[in-house]
A and B are shown apart, each in its own frame.
Chain A
Amino acid sequence: MIVFDGVGKRFGDNVVLSDLDFTVAPGEHVTLIGPSGSGKTTILRLLMCLESVNAGTIRVAGRYLSHMEKGGTLVPADEKHSREVRKRIGMVFQQFNLFPNMTVRGNLIEAPTRVLGLSKDEANARAEELLDLVGLRERIDEHPSRLSGGQQQRVAIARALAMRPDVLLLDEVTSALDPELVAGVLALLRDIGETTDITILCVTHEMGFARDFSHRVMMFDGGQVIEDAPPERLFSEPEHPRTKEFLKAVLSRG
């Protein structure tokens, strides 16, 4: 579903990712862990075309995301091409980023009507169904500012799902929440993971969640994957010394 092939990314002199290869199978849940600045979030941002690669290629569902084929050679993707491929990818942000000038309904029907060409009725039906799923149906006509952080994040998850994505990117979605609101959002994500076949790529510091939600955990350090294993193995018998150090630091904190 997702293929990173020799991907490099730097900001000025700061190399964030170097010669990175990995693949994610359809329906797989992969969690990216590692110290901050290790490039996890950059991977999600590359997939969302919020950044562009300096080297290598990214493919999603068999199509180039970072590049496009033109006259038999690969050239960097233009805006139109990346928008087309990106339609299949949804993202949930740490800061929710709901549109405050729209109601919850407006947030949920905006992209399905404008991008997928759904009718207002179809988009509304989809919005209501998703709000049932996230448990906020009765708040449909309110503005995001009237909701708590946890509720806003659940709406943001519904907004991403309204596009029926094949791939969902979760960027530290509970980091900005008050501790008592975290559990509700994680329960929702577990529910989505169990009832859909969406491929999920997740950056999180919630190790308990990473352990029972993911099929695979990738440990990042210095812009590279230093360990890639199923959660049971990575959390109980980490091989790489940096992984051991990192897990010790993170787990003792909680």
Chain B
Amino acid sequence: MTQVWDWNYAFAILPSLLEGLGLTVLATVLGSVVAMILGLLLAVLRQGPPLLSVAVRGFVEFVRSTPLLVQIFFLYFVLPQFGIVLSALTVGVIALGVHYACYASEVYRAGIEAVPRGQWEAATALSLPRSRVWTGVVLPQAIPRVVPALGNYVISMFKEVPLLTAIGLLDVVGRAQQAGDTYFRYVEPYTIAGLLFLLLSYPASLLVRRLERRVGTI
């Protein structure tokens, strides 16, 4: 009978897990950058001419209605057949980024629609060019209000990075799996992996809650 928790083993695998965590955080950060920028773009385009608006809406609905894992597999296993070969991390950043961009675009949209009509009218009355109405008037009012909601999506993206182990990314869960498969001890690696997630997600969600109180939610 072996002991349930082996501290020596736990410390031995910790550096590898932390390295994996670095990759998890990297994927989250890069994915978030893609999601925030693309999401904003989608939200603004959706307010554009009818045809464009419908196309954007169709794309958003399509991405939101299909599982992230299928999107990941598609990018990783199907695109190479068309000569596009991407690394697991690149696929991860694109898939997470685009998937969450579609959710983020809905958040931005709510923020944009919460800007009073009078603001648009005043900007129009001053003959401001359309691009400046967006960058100078509407978005500076819309974005601060949606930061907490976007923060929540970053946290849930962080927790979805382990899906990328399915295409061989050695993130923190990938490392845990590797350790377990090598030493046939699974308790320590998965417990540590879980704790590492908790250690980052929980303070992040507290931060988001504080932001929410500051700016108010929509």
Contact = CB atoms under 8 A, between A and B. Distances in A.
Interface of A: 48-50, 79, 83, 86-87, 89-91, 93, 95, 97-102, 110-111, 114-115, 156, 159-160, 163
A98 B136 contact: no
B124 interface: yes
Interface residues of B, number: 18
Contacts of A91: 122, 125
A101 B127 CA distance: 18
Interface string B123-167: 111111110100011001100000000000000000000000000
A95 B118 contact: yes
Contact of A110 (B118, B128, B130, B141): B128
9 contacts: A86-B125, A87-B127, A91-B122, A91-B125, A99-B123, A101-B137, A156-B122, A160-B125, A163-B126
Nearest to A106: B136
| Interface pairs A-B: 5 shortest CB-CB | A97-B122, A111-B126, A97-B118, A101-B140, A91-B125
B127 A115 contact: yes
Contact of B127 (A50, A83, A102): A83
A49 B127 CA distance: 10
B119 interface: yes
Interface string B162-202: 00000000000000000000000000000000000000000
A89 B126 CA distance: 8
A105 B127 CA distance: 18
A48 B128 contact: no
Given A93-B125, A159-B126, 17 more contacts: A48-B121, A83-B127, A86-B125, A86-B127, A89-B125, A91-B122, A93-B121, A95-B116, A95-B118, A97-B116, A97-B121, A97-B122, A99-B122, A101-B137, A101-B140, A110-B126, A114-B132
A97 B122 CA distance: 6
A226 to B, nearest CB: 28
B118 A90 contact: no
A78 to B, nearest CB: 13
A180 B119 CA distance: 26
Contacts of A156: 122
B126 A115 contact: yes
Nearest to A94: B118
B41 to A, nearest CB: 21
